[in-house]
Structure 1
Amino acid sequence: MKNLLAIDLGSSKTTAIIANYDEITDNISISGVGIAKTRGVKKGAIVNIDQASRSIKQAYNDAKRVAGVDVKKAIVSISSVYTKSIISYGIVNIPGNEITIKEINRAIQTALYNANIPQDYQLLQALPYDFKVDELSEIEDPAGMSGSRLEVSLHIIAVQKSGVENLKKTLKQAGLEIENIVSAGYASGLATLKDDEKELGVALIDIGATTSDLAIFVNKSLRHTDYLGVGSHHITNDLSMALHTPLSDAEEIKIKFGEYVKNDDELIEISVIGNEEEKQKASITTITQVIIARIEETFMLLNKEIEESGLKNKIGAGIVLTGGFTNFYNIKEIASQFFDGLPVRVGIPKKIDGLFENLKAPEFSTPIGLLLYGTKEGLTYEIDSNRQFRTKSSFEEISKNIENNSQIIQKEEKNEPKEELSSIMINNEPSFWQKIKTWLSNLF
C-alpha cells in the first residue's frame, strides 16, 4: 500500500489530498482532504513564497489530520503560465529487428535530445503522440513489433526554470518535498476526459479564478498545451468597477447571478465602494451585460487559442470545460455559441473511493488528476519532470512477462504442460495481459 499526496496551488484556493493506493489491485481511496485560501499567487504565478507556503501547509495539515498519515513527498501541479509546448522527433535503428521497451525509450530520448528547448526552460513532461515503424505510421504502442527503424513524434512541455525553483522552495518551506510536477491542464484531463474523447480529439479548458489552462488531446495523446490569463475573478473585477461596489459584493453578485435571473429581480441592493455602510441599487440588466461581455470575450479568446494550435480540425469530440468557472449560471449553453458548432460539456472528476463526496465538482479536477497521475492512469510512455522514463509497468515486469510467455509458447510447440497466465502475470492488470498477448502475436 502506498500513500499519495496531491497538492494543487490554485489562484484562489489550495487543495491537498491524501490517498491510499494499492499497486496490486490498482485501487485508490481518498483518506484526507484539506482546502485553504491561496495567498502569494497572482495569475497562476507564485509572487510571495512565504504566503504561498503557508497556504500549502494549512491545506496539508488539514488533510494529514483527517488521514492520520504523514506523507512528505507530493505530486504538484504547475500552471501553464510557466510552460510552453515544443514538438520534436526522434529516429533510431532497431538492432535485431525487434522493438522492446528499451528501444522505445531510446527513440524518445533521441527526440528529447533533438528538441530546441530555450535556455531558461527545462523539461516538465515529454509525451509521445505518434510512433512509426518502418513505413507504418500512427502506431499507438510499438512494443513487441518487428521493424528496422523506429520513429517517434514527441510533445514536450517545457517549464521556466525559475518557476520550478520557486515551486520547490515553496514546498520546502511548507515542510514537503516534490515527488513530481505535472502540468495542471494535463492533470485535469486525466480526471475528466473519457478515452473515446481523447481518441476522437478533444480540447480541455480548465478555467479557474485568474487563469485558463488549455490541453488538446488527439488519438489518445496530449498534443498541445497553452495558457490564457483570464478567469472568473475578472468577472468580479468588472462588476466591481462597473457598479462601483467592493470586490466582496461583486463576488457575491457573481455567485448569486443565477438566482437573480430565475427570480426575475430587476434591482438589488449593494454597498458603495469606499463606504460599505452606504447602499445603492444595481440593475440586473446592467449586471447581465457586464457578465456576458466578459464571458463572451473569454470564450472568443479561447477559441482563437484553439485555432492557433493548428489542431482544431482534429477535435472531433468537442470541448470539455472544467474548473470553478464552470459553476457559473448557464455556462455550457453560453460557451456553445463560440466554438463553431463543436459540442460542449462540463467535465467533473472521475469518481474515486473514500472521501470523494466534497470533491466531485469541476474545481477539483486538477488535484484529482494529480492523484490519478500517481497511479499511472492513462499512461503509455512518458519522460517526467525528474527526467525518468515512466511506463505503466517497469522494464523488469515487461521483460519478465515476455520471457515467460516465450517459454510458454516453446512448451506448447513441444506439447509440454504450460503454466496458467494468471499465475505468471498476477501483478498486472487485465488490460496489460491483453497488451502482452498482442505483443507476442507480433513477436512470434
Structure 2
Amino acid sequence: MSTTYLGIDIGSSQICAVIAEKDDVGMKVLGAGVSKAQGLKKGVITNIELASKSIKMALSDAKRVAGTHYDKVIVSISGAYTKSVDSNGVVNVPNHDIGIREINRAMQMADHNANIPHEYEKLHVLPYNFKVDEQEHIEDPLGMNGSRLEVQVHIITAQKSSLSNLKKAVKSAGVDIDNIVLGGYASAIATVNEDEKELGVVVIDMGGASCNMVIHSGNSIRYNDFLGVGSSNITNDLSMALHTPLPAAENVKINYGTLHASSSELIELPVLGDENVTHEVSLDIISNVIYARVEETLMILAKTLEDSGFKDQVGAGIVLTGGLTKLEGIRELATAIFDNMPIRLARPKEMEGLFETLRDPGHSTAIGLIMYGGGAFTPYEIDSNKKMRYKDESIEPGKNVQRILEEEDSMKLDEPESVESTKDKLARITDLGQQPKGDNALAKFWHRLTQLF
C-alpha cells in the first residue's frame, strides 16, 4: 500500500511544493513546483492573499508534473515564529513492562508539565533523554523492564496568530494541512545522516532572508534558533554599495558572487534611478561587499552556537545547507569563523525520481517535509496535531501507534486509573460502599486509609 505526500516549503524567497509517493520499497518523487514568494518577509507572512497566490502557483505546477492527487499535506513554518522550552515527565510502570503506552504517558506528562505562554501553541514535543528507574541515558526504553519511566523533552512552540495566518494562506490555496513542521527540523531530516546525529551536529539552513539553526544531539533536537539574515541582504548591500537597481544587483550576486579574492576586472552596471546610464564597477569591490555580509552572518551564528551551551556536544561539526551555501568559498570562511570545527556543505538526500533542480541545497526543507511525512522523524514525537508518532509505527500487525493509543480509554493526568481501582478494592475488602458511621475510631481509620491513595 502506498501513500502520497505533498510537502510545501514556505520560504522567505521562494515557495517549493513537492509531491512524493511512499510504499514498501521507499519514497519516489512524482512532481515539484517552485514560485517566487510574495506576501512574506523574513519568513513571516505579511499578506495572506499574496502568499496564498504564491502557494497556489507552486502547487499547480507540482500537480501538473505529478499527475496525481495527494493523501497527506505537510507544511513548513519559519523559525521566526517559534520559541522552545525543555520539560520532563515521570510515570510509574505498574506491570514493569515499558511499552508504547508507557512512553506516550511519560511524554504526555512532560507536555502537561511544560510552562508554555498562552499565546503560543506546541508544534513538536521531542524526547531527548529517557531514564528507567535509576538508569540514565536510555536510547530507547521500548521493551525494557522497570517500575519508573522518566523522559526529558524539547518542546518547540509557535505563535497561535502566526499559525492561524499560515493555515489561512494555505487554506486559501485550496489545501488542508495535515502537519506543520519547523523548517530547520525538515532541513535536518533531509541532510543529516545517523552517525552525525549520534555524535551531535549543528544544521544551519541559510536561505533567502533567514538562517535557521538546529542542534541534534543523540536522537533528537536539543536546540533551535533563527536569524533574520539571508542572501537577499547581500543583494540589498550590493544595490546600495554599487548604486544599481536590485535586479542588477541580484544578477551580479549570481554571476560574480564569490568569497575568494577577486580580480580588478571591471563590469558595467546600470545606475540606480536612471537605468539608461551605466557605470563601471570592479569585481574586487563586489567580492568585498559579499564577504563583509557573509562574515558578519557567520559570526552571529557562531556566537549563537557558543551561547547555546551545546558547542561541546557537536562532535560531527556543522552542516550548512540552503541557497546561500552555493557561494564560492563559504566552507573555508565558515571553518575559520567556527574555530576549525568540521564543516560540510549538504544537499538533500538522494531518492528515486529526485529532479536535478531539487538537488539544490535551497530545496532541503521541501525534501525534508516529504521525508517527515514518510516516517523520517525522531524516534518518538508528539506532532503538531498532538498525536504521538513513532519511528516504526507498526507495533502490532495492521495497526499503527495512533490506533493502538486510541483503543485505550483517555487518561487523566490529575487522577491516574490506579487510584480509583485501589479505592474500589478497599471498599470490597471491608464490604463497605461508603465511609463507616457510628464508630468514630473506625471512621477515622477509614478516612486516613483512603487519603493514602
CA pair 48-133 structure 1, distance change in 2 beyond 3 A: same
Q: Does 1:31 align with 2:30?
A: yes
1:222 Cα deviation from its structure 2 partner:
0.8
Q: Does the 8 Å CA contact 1:73/1:176 hold for their aligned counterparts?
A: no
Q: Does the 8 Å CA contact 2:262/2:287 hold for their aligned counterparts?
A: no
1:193 counterpart residue number: 192
1:357 Cα deviation from its structure 2 partner:
2.3
1:86 Cα deviation from its structure 2 partner:
0.7
Task: Within 5 Å, give how 1:171-190 maps onto structure 2.
Answer: 171-190=170-189
CA distance in 2, matches of 1:251, 1:361: 18
Q: Does 1:16 align with 2:17?
A: yes
1:228 Cα deviation from its structure 2 partner:
0.4
1:94-131 alpha-carbon deviations (Å, 9 max, x no partner): 11111111000000000000101111100001110000
1:425 counterpart residue number: none
Which protein has the larger Cα radius of gyration, Structure 1 or Structure 2?
2
1:5 counterpart residue number: 6
1:316 Cα deviation from its structure 2 partner:
0.7
CA distance in 2, matches of 1:346, 1:305: 19
Q: Does the 8 Å CA contact 1:101/1:395 hold for their aligned counterparts?
A: no
1:253 Cα deviation from its structure 2 partner:
1.2
Q: Does the 8 Å CA contact 1:80/1:226 hold for their aligned counterparts?
A: yes
1:49 Cα deviation from its structure 2 partner:
0.5
Q: Does 1:350 align with 2:373?
A: no
Name segments (4+ residues, structure 1) moved above 4 Å.
Answer: 258-263, 398-401
Instruction: Provide the secondary structure at the position in 2 that maps to 1:155.
Output: strand
Instruction: Provide the secondary structure at the position in 1 that maps to 2:137.
Output: strand
CA distance in 1, matches of 2:240, 2:97: 66
CA pair 16-282 structure 1, distance change in 2 beyond 3 A: same
Q: Does the 8 Å CA contact 2:110/2:151 hold for their aligned counterparts?
A: yes
Task: Within 5 Å, give how 1:37-436 maps onto structure 2.
Answer: 37-71=36-70, 73-258=72-257, 264-394=263-393, 397=396
CA distance in 1, matches of 2:28, 2:392: 21
TM-score of the pair, normalised by structure 2 = 0.85
1:30-88 alpha-carbon deviations (Å, 9 max, x no partner): 11111111100001000000000111101111111111112374200000000111100
Instruction: Provide the secondary structure at the position in 1 that maps to 2:174.
Output: coil
Instruction: Provide the secondary structure at the position in 2 that maps to 1:126.
Output: strand
Q: Does the 8 Å CA contact 1:257/1:329 hold for their aligned counterparts?
A: no
CA distance in 1, matches of 2:273, 2:104: 61
CA distance in 2, matches of 1:113, 1:260: 48
CA pair 14-379 structure 1, distance change in 2 beyond 3 A: same
Matching residue's letter, 2:301:
L
1:302-342 alpha-carbon deviations (Å, 9 max, x no partner): 01111111101111110110000001111111111111121
CA distance in 2, matches of 1:141, 1:105: 13
Long gaps (5+) in structure 1: 402-444
2:410 counterpart residue number: none
1:283 Cα deviation from its structure 2 partner:
1.9
1:140 Cα deviation from its structure 2 partner:
1.0
2:439 counterpart residue number: none
Backbone CA RMSD of aligned residues: 1.8
Matching residue's letter, 1:8:
D
Q: How many residues align?
A: 399
Identity, % of aligned positions: 53
CA distance in 1, matches of 2:391, 2:283: 53
CA pair 260-160 structure 1, distance change in 2 beyond 3 A: closer
1:267-323 alpha-carbon deviations (Å, 9 max, x no partner): 111111011111011122222221111111000000111111110111111011000
Segment of structure 1 superposing worse, 348-357 or 105-114? 348-357
1:356-401 alpha-carbon deviations (Å, 9 max, x no partner): 3221111010000001101111431100000001113447527989
TM-score of the pair, normalised by structure 1 = 0.87
Q: Does the 8 Å CA contact 2:262/2:284 hold for their aligned counterparts?
A: no
